[in-house]
Amino acid sequence: MKQKNVEHIKLKDKEIFLVGAAHVSKESVKLVSEIINKEKPDTVGVELCENRYNALTSKKKWEDMEITKIIREGKTYLFLANLMLSIFQKRIGQSLKVKPGAEMIQAIKSGKELSAKIVLLDRDIQVTLKRAWKKMKFREKCKLMLGLIPGLLQPEKINEEILEQLKEKDMMTQMMEELGREVPSAKKVLIDERDIYIANKILEAPGKKIVAVVGAGHVEGIKKHLKKHSSEGTVHRFQRKRMKENIELLEKISKGSQRIKYVGYSIPLIFIGIIVYGFIHHTSVELTLTMLAYWFLINGSLSALGALLALGHPLTIISGFLAAPFTSLNPTIGAGIVAGLVEAKIREPKVKDFQDLSQIITLKGFYKNRVSRILLVAAFANIGSIIGTIAALPYLISLI
């Protein structure tokens, strides 16, 4: 008899039980325990990577983070998105009194009790986020960041009945399709690629009987890829090689679009061209100085406004103002990097700030914590500088 939220797939050399779980659900925890104890598998696979597993089990989730390194390497937005998503999941878990990832931890616990081999099935979360970020268009990135902030300002009340409904395949599929329409690049990386990756990891897993615990939204996609092999019978050597190649390909991080790089290098050329043309056309030193002053004021003011909105230190706000007109002409560094590093120097985070990152559940908490506030300063100052550049160039042209 078929059990709800469990897919039974038979290959010639493997028997797979695919358990679709909600990531925060008491019912999912119970279902996982029941299936593993009933089927007594050789291997238990969970939709976790090593980093996510350590984050769920380690109390030092954020303590080893180097805040200045994140800012210097331009990973501020990625880390903020990761932190915000973690907060949303934690908030839901608190409302339902279930620890996020409890069903995965239960799967590992139940598997170990039966001496089953434990396999982490998912791609590294940092690789997934980097691949998604690099493939997303600029407007998609803006939509994602703007879409996350209201959730912090207006927490949504979610009860368990609604959450359990999200496990229904038709509703979940509809949600994924909506995500695909809104942010197609992100859906491809976050959902489609991981379906293939997890399916291949399941096929690579040792043992004849496997229980794989995955998010409900991935079940259909994973099942589709697994069933391709059900008609092929045993996974032969050349197929194993092909699966390995697929996994390696999905772990690579592309260099990203060259278009953005070209835009970054074209800005100083456009700026210099406007200044030179204005001087030659009007032979006016006064006009040149006026254009330089407006470039400085528009770019610097909006970057400073960004740092101010993030409640940066006064010296940080000043540094954003002074840095933006120059960093906008240098594609290798942003005003946010300067402002973020200054904020980190003036208001150096303490050990408690890193420890408390896992306790943040509101926007107010973001501002109170020194680590997250530094990230906000870096992000907002940089956004302000970008807006300032976009606004200043047309205005300078209008002065000619």
Residue by residue, pLDDT tens for the chain (400 residues) are 457 788 898 887 889 999 988 766 678 888 999 999 999 999 999 998 887 787 676 655 555 567 787 787 777 776 776 676 666 666 655 665 666 678 888 999 999 999 999 999 999 877 887 787 777 777 777 666 665 555 554 445 555 555 555 445 434 444 555 556 667 777 788 788 888 899 999 988 999 999 999 988 788 889 888 877 655 545 555 455 566 557 778 887 766 556 666 777 888 899 999 888 888 887 778 888 999 999 999 999 999 999 999 999 999 999 999 999 999 998 888 899 999 999 999 998 877 777 677 667 666 777 888 888 888 899 899 989 999 999 999 999 998 8
The answer to whether 374 touches 105, Cβ cutoff 8 Å, is no
Structural domain includes residue 151: yes
For residue 164, the model assigns a pLDDT of 54
The answer on 262 and 240 residing in a single domain is: no
Specify the amino acid at residue 217. G
| DSSP codes of every residue in 40-89 | --SEEEES--HHHHHHHH-S-TTTT--HHHHHHTT-HHHHHHHHHHHHHH
What's the domain range around 131? 6-250
For residue 246, the model assigns a pLDDT of 72
Last residue of a domain, one of 206, 221, 250: 250
For residue 171, the model assigns a pLDDT of 45
Instruction: Provide the domain count of the chain.
Output: 2
Structural domain includes residue 56: yes
Structural domain includes residue 1: no
The answer on 289 and 195 residing in a single domain is: no
Last residue of a domain, one of 217, 250, 283: 250
The answer on 394 and 306 residing in a single domain is: yes
- Residue 119's nearest CA partner among 210, 208, 20 is 210
What is the C-alpha to C-alpha distance for residues 360 and 366, in angstroms, rounded to an integer?
Answer: 7
Structural domain includes residue 51: yes
The answer on 292 and 213 residing in a single domain is: no
The answer on 368 and 308 residing in a single domain is: yes
For residue 159, the model assigns a pLDDT of 53
The answer on 140 and 91 residing in a single domain is: yes
Structural domain includes residue 337: yes
The answer on 288 and 239 residing in a single domain is: no
The answer on 337 and 305 residing in a single domain is: yes
Structural domain includes residue 369: yes
What is the C-alpha to C-alpha distance for residues 24 and 7, in angstroms, rounded to an integer?
Answer: 20
For residue 218, the model assigns a pLDDT of 84
The answer on 264 and 224 residing in a single domain is: no
Structural domain includes residue 203: yes
Last residue of a domain, one of 250, 266, 293: 250
Distance, CA of 191 to chain centre: 13
pTM exceeds 0.75:
no
The answer on 315 and 267 residing in a single domain is: yes
The answer on 222 and 115 residing in a single domain is: yes
Structural domain includes residue 305: yes
The answer on 306 and 235 residing in a single domain is: no
The answer to whether 41 touches 210, Cβ cutoff 8 Å, is yes
